[in-house]
Structure 1
C-alpha cells in the first residue's frame, strides 16, 4: 500500500493550493492541542528563562529537572526510562499502566481466541512495541552472527528527484516512492504460510583513525548494510535503504507540547546569520487532520503527532491495522500476493480494526508520559566547565537547551513546563559521512532531525550498550561527535581541536544529561 499516494490524494481532495510551498501552508495552530494563548508577560518570562546562560560557575535554576515538573528520579538500572511522569494523577497512572501493557503486548496470528491480541503480520519486524524499544530505550545495530536486527528497521524507497526541496508541488510531501515489490519498509519476519522479505545484515568497515590532542586516537567504523535471502526477488536497482535503530522514548509528550512557533524561531534555512547552520522545519502532511503540520518525531522529523507515530509503527513494524492506518496487511505490496491474502484480525469488537481507537489512544498516552530522568551532577565543576565548552563550541546552534511548552487546557502534566531537551527539532544537513541517499518528504538523504540529548548519559544502564547515531555506528559519544559533518562540521572541528581535559569535560556534561 502506497501511503504517500494516499496522503497526496487526501491533500488534493482537501483543496490545498499547489502554488504554495509547504512552509507557506504551515499553520502555527496545533489541531491536536487545546492551547491557552500566552500573555505578553508570559512571553517575556519565557524569553528570559530560555536565554543562554551568562554565568557558567553555577547551575541554572531548575536545570536538574530536565522534564519539568514531571521529571523522575534518576536510576542506574534498566528501568531508568520506564517510569511515568512524576506529576500524573492516580487516574492517569492507571491509564499509563494499561498503555504500558498494550505497548508490551505480544501480538499473535489471526484468527485467535484472543481477538484483542491477534492480527500480527502477515509480515512484520517485531511482535510488540517493546521488542523494538527495549525498556523504552535505544535499539542497537546487529553486532555479528546470531545478533538479529530486532530493534532496527530498514526503510526503503526510490527517490522522486535528486533534490526533494526543488519541487513546488504536493509530491514533495512524499520524497520517495516505495520499492515496487518490498514497499516502504523491509520485513524480516512473517507468519506461517507467508515468506518473509529476507534478513538484514551488516559488516563494519573501519575508517582512518582520528588523531586528537593528548595522544588519543579514535577509530571510526562505517556500516555496510545488506539485505540477504530476499524472498520476493531483487530490489529495484534504484531503491535506496535507510537503516535506523529504535530511539529512546522519554519526554515525547513534552516535545509534542512545544509551540510550533518556538521551534520555527530557530530555523534559518538560508543561513541569514552566516554561521553555517541552516536548520529548517520539516513540514509534513497529516492524514489525521488533513493539513500540513510541523514534523517533530522520527529521525527525519516525518511525523507530526504521537498518535500518528503509534499508528505508523503498529502498521509498518507489526502489521496491525488501526483507525489511522487501516490496511491489515501492513506494508505488503500488491506484488506480494500471499501476504495481501493472508490472515487478518479485523474485528467488530475492535471497531473493525486490529487495534481499537481506545487502545491506540492508550498507547499514545503511555508513550507521551514516560518521564525524563533528573540530571546528575549539575553543580559539579567539571560538568559546569563541560557545559561552558559545549556552548563555546556552538553545539547549541542545533542542540538548543531549553523550551517552555504550551499552556494546555487538557494536559496539565505537559502544560507550561520549562524543559531541557537539547534539540531544535529541525532538519540539518549532516554531510556525506552520515548520508544514506533516501529522501523523506522534503528531507534530503543527508538531512537529519537533531535528536534530543536528555537521558543520553543513561544509555548503557537502560539499553546495555553504548551505540549512538541513527544507525548505531558510534560506540562512544566521542565517535558520535566525530561523525558530525555538513552544518555540524565546524562544531565537530572545534571539539576535535580541544585539549584532552576540555574534551573530557564536554563528555562529563553529556553524561550528566
Structure 2
C-alpha cells in the first residue's frame, strides 16, 4: 500500500536564502490513485485508466470515437454522426479539447476562436428572467442566446466573430523583477442578427483538460460541502462555497462540480450541454436547437432527428470522459521540486488546491471507487478578485468567483498541447503569470509569491510542473 508513497524531509539548507522550518512532506506519484498511467508526450492525456479492465476498454474506445471524430450536418448517410449545427463553435469535441487537453485563446492569425467560446447573458430584471436563473444560472442574450457561435453550416453566416485585445499590466517582485501580465478585453464583431442588448455580459472560456473527470465526479458530496467555509469562520481569509445548480435529469437544484464556475452537476449533463451549445446537437437532456426566436436558420434547415445524439452515444461519451487517466507525477526526487512543494503549502495554496482526497465507493464504476487521489482542487467557488472578474454570475457564483481548477497534469500542458496558456480565458502565458493573477481570497498567497526570490520562484514552478 505504501509502495509509491514517499516521505521527504525538506530542510532550510536546501537554499541558504530560504528561512523555513523543517517540514515533512508526503506525496504519491499516482495522482489518480490506481487509475494513474505512466505516460509522457502528446498522448499523455488520452489513455484509459490503468485499472480499467480489458472488458471495458471497448466501451472507452467507442466513446473516444464519438468524442474525437467530426459531426456533419443532416441529412447524411452516416446518421449516427449527423445533426451538426446549423450554428456551432466546432464540429468535434477534440477540436476544443485537443488531445484531451487544454484550449487556448485565438492567436493573431486565427479567424475563429476554435478552442475558446464566449458566454453571453443579460441581467435578470423581470420576474420571468429571475425564474430563468433557477434553471439556467443566467439569462441568455435575447438574440444570440447563451453563447456566441462563430461557425455555421455551408452557405450560412455565423453569428459573429470573437475578438480579443490585450493591455499590459506590470507586476513587480520584491527583488525588483517585473513581469508584464496581459489583461484581455473581449468583443464581438460582424454580428449577423443585429446588435446585442446594451447590457450584455461577455465571458471568454477556454476548454479545460479532460483528465480525471470521473474521479472528480466520484468525490463524495459530503466531503466537498465539509470544505465550505462560506463565512470564513476560521479566519484564514478563505471562504469557499459550493455552487448549487440545476440538474436537468433530476429536475432540482444539486451540487455543481464541472465548468469554470462549477455550473454543471455531472459529466452526463456537461457533455450533453456541450453537444447542444458547442455543436448544435440535440439530445434527451437538451432537445431544442440552439437557436433563439430571432434566428430562423434552425427552422429553415433539416435536423438529424428528434434526438441527434442518442442516449446510447451519450452513455459511451460519459464512460470515456469518466475514465481518461491522469498521468503520474514526475521529478519527485528533485530537491528543487521538494522545496517548491513546501513553498506551495506555506503560501496557503493548498487551502483551495486540496492535495489529497478519497473517492466514494462506486460499485458500478469500480476503477474509480475508493481511490486516494491528488487533484489539487476543492471544487468550490472562491472570490478571485477584480482582476480575474468576468462580472457575470452563474447560479450561486457571482462575477468574481471561480471554481478551483484541478492542477494534476498541469506540467504536461506544453507537450500535450504545444502551449502554456492558463486560467479561464487563457490570458496567462505561463504558470507564473497564472499565479500572479490570483487576488481576492488568494491575495495573501500572491503576496507571498511576490516576496520570493528567483531560486524560490523557480522551485515553486518546478513543483507545479511536477504535477
TM range (shorter): over 0.9
Q: 1:74, 1:196 → 2: CA distance?
A: 39
1:224 aligned residue = 185
Residue of structure 2 aligned with 1:319, choices 280, 284, 296: 280
1:71 aligns with 2:36: yes
SS of the residue corresponding to residue 420 of structure 2 reads coil
- Deviation, 1:324, is 1.1
Assess if the C-alpha contact under 8 Å between 1:172 and 1:442 holds in 2: no
Q: 1:416, 1:55 → 2: CA distance?
A: 28
1:418 aligns with 2:372: yes
SS of the residue corresponding to residue 122 of structure 2 reads strand
Q: Which runs of 5+ in 2 are unaligned?
A: 11-22
1:500 aligns with 2:443: no
- Deviation, 1:266, is 1.1
Q: Which runs of 5+ in 1 are unaligned?
A: 1-44, 162-166, 347-351
Residue of structure 1 aligned with 2:248, choices 264, 287, 300: 287
- 1:338-357 mapped onto 2 (5 Å cutoff): 338-346=297-305, 352-357=306-311
1:304 aligns with 2:265: yes
Q: 2:113, 2:185 → 1: CA distance?
A: 14
1:190 aligns with 2:143: no
TM-score scaled by structure 2? 0.92
2:14 aligned residue = none
Residue of structure 2 aligned with 1:371, choices 299, 307, 325: 325
Q: 1:80, 1:396 → 2: CA distance?
A: 25
- Deviation, 1:173, is 5.1
- Deviation, 1:216, is 2.3
2:95 aligned residue = 131
RMSD (Å), alpha carbons: 1.9
What are the Cα deviations for residues 411-430 of structure 1, in whole angstroms up to 9, with x where unaligned?
Answer: 11000000000001000011
Residue of structure 2 aligned with 1:117, choices 59, 81, 84: 81
1:106 aligned residue = 70
What are the Cα deviations for residues 100-128 of structure 1, in whole angstroms up to 9, with x where unaligned?
Answer: 10001211111111111111101000000
1:256 aligns with 2:217: yes
1:81 aligned residue = 45
Assess if the C-alpha contact under 8 Å between 2:71 and 2:81 holds in 1: yes
1:396 aligned residue = 350
Q: 2:111, 2:156 → 1: CA distance?
A: 23
Residue of structure 2 aligned with 1:243, choices 204, 214, 224: 204
- Deviation, 1:58, is 6.6
Assess if the C-alpha contact under 8 Å between 1:59 and 1:379 holds in 2: no
What are the Cα deviations for residues 22-43 of structure 1, in whole angstroms up to 9, with x where unaligned?
Answer: xxxxxxxxxxxxxxxxxxxxxx
Residue of structure 2 aligned with 1:429, choices 383, 396, 399: 383
Assess if the C-alpha contact under 8 Å between 1:71 and 1:374 holds in 2: yes
- Deviation, 1:337, is 1.5
Assess if the C-alpha contact under 8 Å between 2:228 and 2:380 holds in 1: yes
Bigger shift: 170-179 or 188-197?
Answer: 170-179
Q: 2:429, 2:175 → 1: CA distance?
A: 20
Assess if the C-alpha contact under 8 Å between 1:284 and 1:304 holds in 2: yes
Residue of structure 1 aligned with 2:59, choices 65, 72, 95: 95
1:461 aligned residue = 415
After TM superposition, which residue ranges in structure 1, 4 or more long, deviate above 6 angstroms?
none
2:17 aligned residue = none
Q: 2:329, 2:138 → 1: CA distance?
A: 40
Aligned length: 447
Residue of structure 2 aligned with 1:337, choices 293, 296, 306: 296
- Deviation, 1:60, is 2.4
Assess if the C-alpha contact under 8 Å between 2:133 and 2:139 holds in 1: no
Assess if the C-alpha contact under 8 Å between 1:477 and 1:507 holds in 2: yes
- Deviation, 1:145, is 2.6
2:230 aligned residue = 269
What are the Cα deviations for residues 228-273 of structure 1, in whole angstroms up to 9, with x where unaligned?
Answer: 1001000100110111100000000000000001111111011111
1:176 aligns with 2:138: yes
1:154 aligned residue = 118
- Deviation, 1:438, is 1.3
- Deviation, 1:482, is 0.7
What are the Cα deviations for residues 61-98 of structure 1, in whole angstroms up to 9, with x where unaligned?
Answer: 5x1000000101130x2101001110111121111111
1:476 aligns with 2:430: yes
- Deviation, 1:133, is 0.5
Q: 2:293, 2:385 → 1: CA distance?
A: 36
What are the Cα deviations for residues 357-383 of structure 1, in whole angstroms up to 9, with x where unaligned?
Answer: 110000011111110000001222111
Assess if the C-alpha contact under 8 Å between 1:282 and 1:301 holds in 2: yes
SS of the residue corresponding to residue 408 of structure 1 reads coil
Q: 1:174, 1:485 → 2: CA distance?
A: 28
- Deviation, 1:171, is 4.0
Assess if the C-alpha contact under 8 Å between 2:175 and 2:451 holds in 1: no
